[in-house]
Amino acid sequence: MAGSYDPRTFRAATFHDAVPAFRDGSDSPRAYLERCLAAIAEREPVVRAFVTVNAEGARAAADESTLRWKTGRPLSAIDGLPIGIKDLLETRDMPTEMGCEAYRGNFPKRDNAAVSALRRSGAVVLGKTTTAELGGAHPPATTNPFDAARTPGGSSSGSAAAVGARMIPAAVGSQVGGSIIRPAAFCGNFAMKPTQGGINRGERQSTSMSTHGIHAGSIEDVWVTSMAIVRWAGGDPGKRGLFGPATTPDAVKPGRLIVLETEGWPDVDAATREGFAQVLAALEAAGVTLLRRADHPWIEALERAIADGRSLCGSITAWENHWAHRSLVDQYPDKVSLRAKAVLARAEAMDFEDYRRLLVEREAAQMRHATLAPLADACIMLSCPGPAPLWPGDRPGQPLAPRPTGDFVFNAPSSMLFAPAFTMPLMGVGGMPVGVQLMGQQHEDARITAMARWVTQAVPPVVVG
């Protein structure tokens, strides 16, 4: 089954390029919002990216923003930006149900740190986007905006799908293993998973690899929105937060890139391999030197250190969540999915020595990654093993599908390495988006953003299949 995506012609909704019209009065944040609401009315019945849309509150915020632009007093470069918030993050004006029946009706009436920062920046908090249950693997009803039979990815399902469906220009997601980069890659988004702790998670501090990150239709909107949050909320407690300018870094050509295979390479389909090869060939033609695992023992050492990254990320996170999830299951045994209960059972089969061994392995991999800094500017790899897989739903009487929102195998490296990653919608495979990502050293978020900007200018969109 072919999708409808063609990277040569698809144009996402963007915000940064609307700002000049706000300044001269030929457009306004309220008019921009109304266009988003019209797109939601058109696409939402099939895509189902939102849990809640607060149109009344959004219109009031957009009117306030319109007045600020009219009087030349915008609060920031994202004043008036309509944005979706993943339904794991608390919002004072909408419930936070976390994709879980046990949290149905949960309404703390307070803002996550990032949401508070967005409001202080003048952004229009439009709605709550769907998430896989508790940020895990049990999927919501959301569909891929380019083929409704396919998953949009998880756990930031609605954030990715809403941007891909051109309903909104930006949305907040979060990632523990692959929940920003993978759904962005499946839905044709730009997205950044920042250095660990780079954006304040607020109340979402319970796991050691969780990060907030922005999905958007452009690199500019990803970066400026991220930095607007950091301006008011900073990074996680005790962390230094994102470094870089308030405006999007200028494009910078990388001199050398390391091509990482990861443990996912054997599972990549032929068409995706062909498309990725074309991307790499275009980089070489533009004068970028590519290094692979056979070219230097330090690269091979990193490949080996991340070779079990998917299992390592899953096990660490399951252990860190299992007390909270055990309490939830005990209190609401019929309102937590069988998939989440299976993850809990695996975590409860671990002991502290298992967890400590995994932490040591993660630290060793981080050291291996740091040693590569003198060899190359960044690493480049696929963002996903191929197009978003079909998702017909679980079949009664059959074992649960192991990865209903897709495989995060190409995202585990940046998560376990605490490294920034930026995915770019460079490929169309069989009518579906497939992303390519750059991964940098810790705290080089601005640098990989600058290189991502150059790559998207230098590499023509690739279409295969």
Q: Catalytic residues, which ones?
A: 86, 155, 179
Peptide bond into 415 cis (omega under 30): no
Q: Which two tokens stand for residue 357?
A: 């061994």
Best CA proximity match to 190, nearest among 155, 216, 158: 216
Q: Which two tokens stand for residue 436?
A: 């390519």
In angstroms, rounded to a whole number, what is the distance separating the alpha carbons of residues 298 and 295? 9
Determine the residue type at 215: H
Residue 167 CB-density burial (10 A; 0-12 exposed, 13-18 middle, 19+ buried): buried
From residue 32, alpha-carbon distances to 62, 66, 220, 449 in Å are 9, 10, 18, 26
- 327 burial via Cβ count (<10 Å: 0-12, 13-18, 19+): exposed
DSSP 8-class letter at 246: S
Residue identified by tokens 């050291």 is 367
Classify residue 198 by burial, with Cβ atoms within 10 Å: 0-12, 13-18, 19+: buried
